[in-house]
């Protein structure tokens, strides 16, 4: 996906699905750094080299950036602020002696509260994968639950007494809960500022008092160093006074929406991939005309060329097709939507696909997924954009 490098200067708001443009989709059995670099290489040949890559903490995307650098197609990397903050919390708290004790206690408390009159007080569900992206919800819940139990005795048989009997070891983790909540509160407040206005000198100044109030000194230092490092990238792109896009939330939102719409009874990667371009950005009049001009039979012809779990399920379970047909269809290619070179520039330098032209070429570009930012070094009539 692509996002305008000057997004915050133009709109002054956090990026959302309507602000990003899907420039390519590819489905594979698995993804390595080299495979991602190959796809980006092909996109660069059509769209131009991005000014920067906005990425999460995944090692594959980091490897892809290194591969492109070796090919002479390198661009600066911007680390998504949410993943960076989660990584810092994980680094300092995952191995804290009280952390596993706290997580285990939350599980036991949940079991004691469910199916009782106190079921509404059960903890929120936090998945194990990428736990530290949302673990603050668990600590916030625990702090509020402890607040419901003030010092002093509780009448036998009262709801307070029943609640205290369900708390397990949570009171023993009170110091960890208090410190973690204070750290997470500072990080989240800074994220809110930077995601809305971009990273620049002004937003960094606004974040400094919030950082100074965080109780964990190592976390304060690392987060401040992260922001300072990213601001240097903003300077190289000329965005340190207008705001550097530093959040990949729109990408995660896109996949979250796609997985909930039209996937049928199975999580079908092919069907999800075909819908991604339609779920982000604002279509141009030309794009709308193209869609209206496609017949249903032509649509079925196009989608029938790729392997789809939904299609296989319908054929084997619905039409009683032979089970062996599943093995014969595995050689078909996966879904891949890459722009053709017909109306695209093959300029080898960085292209500018910007929305800052007063929309004189039609509605604004929508944006893309693997993070990047583009600047123009081509002819004056070329527009400026940011690759995500």
Q: Does residue 362 register a pLDDT over 80?
A: no
At 374, the pLDDT band (50, 70, 90 cuts) reads very low
Q: What is the mean pLDDT of the chain?
A: 80
Which of 37-46, 227-236, 315-324 shows the lowest mean pLDDT across its residues? 315-324
Tell me, what's the pLDDT at 58?
Answer: 77
Q: Which two tokens stand for residue 174?
A: 């009170």
Tell me, what's the pLDDT at 325?
Answer: 66
Q: What is the pLDDT of residues 90-110, one digit of tens each?
A: 888 888 888 989 999 999 999
Q: What is the 3-state secondary structure (H, E, C) of 314-369?
A: HHHHHCCCCCCHHHHCCCCCCCEECCCCCCCCCCCCECCCCCCCCCCCCCCCCCCC
Q: Does residue 69 register a pLDDT over 70?
A: yes
Cα radius of gyration (the chain): 25
Residue 29: which residues within 8 A CB-CB, separation 6 or more?
334
Q: What is the pLDDT of residues 139-163, one digit of tens each?
A: 999 999 999 988 888 888 889 999 9
Look at the chain and count its residues.
Answer: 388
**What number of H helices and E strands is found in the chain?**
16, 4
Tell me, what's the pLDDT at 328?
Answer: 57
List alpha helices for 158-216, DSSP H.
Answer: 159-166, 174-197, 201-212
Tell me, what's the pLDDT at 262?
Answer: 57
Answer for the pair 51, 75: CB distance below 8 angstroms, yes or no: yes
Q: Which helix (H) or strand (E) holds 269?
A: helix 269-275
At 332, the pLDDT band (50, 70, 90 cuts) reads low
Answer for the pair 102, 177: CB distance below 8 angstroms, yes or no: yes
Give the span between the Cα atoms of 337 and 26, in whole angstroms: 6
Tell me, what's the pLDDT at 333?
Answer: 64
Tell me, what's the pLDDT at 264?
Answer: 60
Phi, psi of 292 (to 5 degrees): -65, -25
> pTM surpassing 0.85?
no
Which of 43-47, 221-225, 259-263, 293-297 shows the lowest mean pLDDT across its residues? 259-263
Q: Does residue 257 register a pLDDT over 60?
A: yes
Give the span between the Cα atoms of 41 and 64, in whole angstroms: 10
| Strand stretches in the chain, DSSP E | 25-26, 53-55, 77-79, 336-337
Which of 23-32, 281-290, 337-346, 355-364 shows the lowest mean pLDDT across its residues? 355-364
Which of 16-30, 106-120, 163-177 shows the lowest mean pLDDT across its residues? 16-30
Q: Does residue 230 register a pLDDT over 80?
A: yes
Tell me, what's the pLDDT at 296?
Answer: 87
Tell me, what's the pLDDT at 281?
Answer: 82
Q: Does residue 375 register a pLDDT over 70?
A: no
Token pair 């994220």: residue: 191
Token pair 């919800």: residue: 137
Q: Which two tokens stand for residue 77?
A: 């990397």
Answer for the pair 82, 135: CB distance below 8 angstroms, yes or no: no
Q: Does residue 342 register a pLDDT over 70?
A: no
Q: Which two tokens stand for residue 212?
A: 């100074």
Domain boundaries, the chain: 7-80+248-337, 81-246
Q: Is residue 335 packed enough to be buried (19+ CB in 10 Å), middle (13-18) or exposed (0-12)?
A: buried
Q: Does residue 367 register a pLDDT over 70?
A: no
Q: What is the pLDDT of residues 154-205, one digit of tens each?
A: 888 889 999 999 999 999 999 999 999 999 999 999 999 999 999 999 999 9
Gap between the terminal Cα atoms of the chain: 5
Q: What per-residue string of b and e applies to 281-305 under the rule 16 or more CB within 10 Å gives b?
A: beeeeebeeeeeeeeeeeeeeeeee
Between these two residues, 355 and 29, which has the higher pLDDT value?
29
Highest mean pLDDT among 79-93, 213-227, 352-366 belongs to: 213-227
In percent, how much of the chain has pLDDT > 70?
80
Phi, psi of 121 (to 5 degrees): -95, 5
Sign of torsion, CA 285 259 77 86?
A: positive
Between these two residues, 169 and 306, which has the higher pLDDT value?
169
Overall average pLDDT of the 247-275 stretch: 78
């Amino acid at each position: 996906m692509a996002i305008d490098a000057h997004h915050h200067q133009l709109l002054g708001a956090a990026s959302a699905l309507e602000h990003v443009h899907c420039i390519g989709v590819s489905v594979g059995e698995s993804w390595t750094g080299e495979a991602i670099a190959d796809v980006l290489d092909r996109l660069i040949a059509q769209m131009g080299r991005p000014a920067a890559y906005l990425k999460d903490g995944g090692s594959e995307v980091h490897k892809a950036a290194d591969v492109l650098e070796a090919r002479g197609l390198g661009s600066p990397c911007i680390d998504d602020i949410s993943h960076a903050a989660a990584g810092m919390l994980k680094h300092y708290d995952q191995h804290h002696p009280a952390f596993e004790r706290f997580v285990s206690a939350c599980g036991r408390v949940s079991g004691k509260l469910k199916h009782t009159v106190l079921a509404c007080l059960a903890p929120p569900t936090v998945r194990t994968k990428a736990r530290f992206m949302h673990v603050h919800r668990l600590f916030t819940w625990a702090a509020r639950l402890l607040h419901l139990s003030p010092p002093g005795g509780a009448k036998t048989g009262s709801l307070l007494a029943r609640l205290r009997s369900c708390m397990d070891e949570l009171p023993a983790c009170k110091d960890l809960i208090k410190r973690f909540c204070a750290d997470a509160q500072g990080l989240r407040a800074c994220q809110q500022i930077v995601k809305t206005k971009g990273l620049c000198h002004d937003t960094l100044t606004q974040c400094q008092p919030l950082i100074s109030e965080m109780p964990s000194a190592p976390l304060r230092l690392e987060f401040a160093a992260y922001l300072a490092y990213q601001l240097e990238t903003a300077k190289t792109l000329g965005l340190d006074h207008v705001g550097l896009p530093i959040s990949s939330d729109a990408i995660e939102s896109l996949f979250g929406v796609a997985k909930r719409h039209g996937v049928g009874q199975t999580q079908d990667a092919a069907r999800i991939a075909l819908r991604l371009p339609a779920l982000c950005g604002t279509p141009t009049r030309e794009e709308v005309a193209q869609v209206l001009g496609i017949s249903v039979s032509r649509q079925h012809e196009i989608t029938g060329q790729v392997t789809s779990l939904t299609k296989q399920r319908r054929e084997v379970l619905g039409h009683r097709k032979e089970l062996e047909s599943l093995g014969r269809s595995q050689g078909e290619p996966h879904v891949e939507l890459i722009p053709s070179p017909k109306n695209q520039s093959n300029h080898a330098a960085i292209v500018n696909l910007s929305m800052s032209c007063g929309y004189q070429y039609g509605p604004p570009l929508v944006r893309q997924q693997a993070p990047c930012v583009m600047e123009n070094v081509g002819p004056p009539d070329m527009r400026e954009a940011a690759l995500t």
